Amino acid sequence: MKKAFITGITGQDGSYLAELLLDEGYQVYGLTRRTSTQNFARIQNIIHNPNLELISGDLIDQHSLSFALKEIQPDEVYNLAAQSFVQASWEQPILTGEFTAIGVARVLEAVRFSAPKAKFYQASSSEMFGKVREVPQNEDTPFYPRSPYGVAKVYGHWITVNYRESYDMFAVSGILFNHESPKRGLEFVTRKITNAVARIKLGKQEYIELGNLDAKRDWGYAKDYVKAMHLMLQQDSAEDFVIATGETHSVQDFLELACKAADLGDWQQYYKHNPKYDRPAEVDVLIGDASKAKKMLNWQPSVNFEELVKLMVEADIKIEEKTVH
């Protein structure tokens, strides 16, 4: 039985990846940090699976990582944990650097000394392309990050490359473009919109306040993207891959389609601009070229933009129908 260790298992991607690996017959170990209230909502459906074990630890605590890996001796390590919200990275740049940048080095050190045979996956991000140097972005496109989060991810990316080259480790980065789902955190724009649209539909809310409607993103479905992570660690050689749909749409497109999916009529009657959500530096447009992943991993997205918006709106309407407030 193969063993996988996942940091960030309570997050969107970690929870889907754990489901996938359990289905594939893995023993899965998930790192969780201690909180005063348990935060297992996204892994509720798998928490009693006998092949899942939760391990207490934190990206800021080297010993917890080294000890866990020494005990488990995993075949595969997926480092998905991070302070992942771009907006918050301006409010907490130091913490973002600790978790999202140096945290990667801590996990790599733990692999190097405690489980050197393990294959390592780093959750790199299209946010590293920031003020884009070419269109579309591929594995060779230079980085120009536009937020403390983006800067931290560039460190995480290059330290992964460096450990691969310095210590001959099987260490890869997946440069994933935005990917969404009904499990997406409510602070991210897609889920913020689909949740608001569901609440408006049910008469619980009147309008949604947003920042920049013109920003464009290459949005895919998270379940497709965790498959790519797994595929990257099944290869014979360690290589980095861009994972994206190859389509880009604006925040306004997302809002319009979400209102349409809920039969709400003209989207403009539900929208207000709030400058609080504008960013100090914006990433205007992202669009990825995933042809390397298509060719070498035989990976391609199964859900398109319209389907993604619809499935998220429908899921949020169901959730809001069951919720009192």
Number of other residues whose CB lies within 10 A of the CB of residue 296: 14
Q: Does 127 bind ligand G4F (CB under 6 A)?
A: yes
The 27-32 sheet, strands edge to edge: 52-56, 27-32, 3-7, 76-79, 119-125, 171-176, 241-243
Q: Which is nearer to ligand G4F, 168 or 209 (CB)?
A: 209
Q: List the x/- string, 25-64, binding to ligand G4F by CB under 6 A.
A: ----------------------------------------
User: Segment contacting ligand G4F (CB under 6 A): 125-133, 161-169, 199-207, 304-312?
Assistant: 125-133
Q: Which is nearer to ligand G4F, 143 or 177 (CB)?
A: 177
Residue 33 binds which one of ligand NAP, ligand G4F, none, with CB within 5 to 8 A depending on kind? ligand NAP
Burial (CB count within 10 angstroms: exposed 0-12, middle 13-18, buried 19+), residue 66: buried
Measure the CA–CA gap between 142 and 175, rounded to whole angstroms. Answer: 12
Measure the CA–CA gap between 69 and 65, rounded to whole angstroms. Answer: 6
Which residues, numbered 172-211, are part of the site for ligand G4F (CB under 6 A)? 177-178, 187-190, 192, 210-211
Q: List Cα–Cα distances, 36 to 33, 39, 98, 211, 214, in angstroms.
A: 10, 9, 22, 32, 39
Measure the CA–CA gap between 206 and 278, rounded to whole angstroms. Answer: 21
E strand spans, 23-113: 27-32, 52-56, 76-79
**Two structure tokens written together for 153:** 């991810």
| Of 298, 305, 177, residue with least CA distance to 244 | 177
Residue 279 binds which one of ligand NAP, ligand G4F, none, with CB within 5 to 8 A depending on kind? ligand G4F
- Of positions 29, 55, 58, 164, contacts ligand NAP by CB under 6 A: 58
- Of positions 2, 24, 38, 39, contacts ligand NAP by CB under 6 A: 39
Contact between residue 180 and residue 289 where contact means Cβ atoms under 8 Å apart:
no
Nearest approach, Cβ of residue 310 and ligand NAP (Å)? 19
Contact between residue 175 and residue 186 where contact means Cβ atoms under 8 Å apart:
no
Nearest approach, Cβ of residue 262 and ligand G4F (Å)? 18
Q: Does 12 bind ligand NAP (CB under 6 A)?
A: yes
Q: Which is nearer to ligand NAP, 4 or 262 (CB)?
A: 4
Calculate ∠ Cα 45-76-178, nearest 5°.
Answer: 65
**Two structure tokens written together for 116:** 């050197």
Q: Which is nearer to ligand G4F, 109 or 282 (CB)?
A: 282
Nearest approach, Cβ of residue 175 and ligand G4F (Å)? 9
Residue 30 binds which one of ligand G4F, ligand NAP, none, with CB within 5 to 8 A depending on kind? none
Q: Does 310 bind ligand G4F (CB under 6 A)?
A: no
- Binding residues for ligand G4F, rule: CB under 6 A, are 84, 86-87, 125-127, 177-178, 187-190, 192, 210-212, 215, 217, 251, 277, 279, 282-283, 286
- Binding residues for ligand NAP, rule: CB under 6 A, are 7-8, 10-14, 31, 33, 39, 58-60, 80-84, 99, 123, 125, 176, 178-179, 185
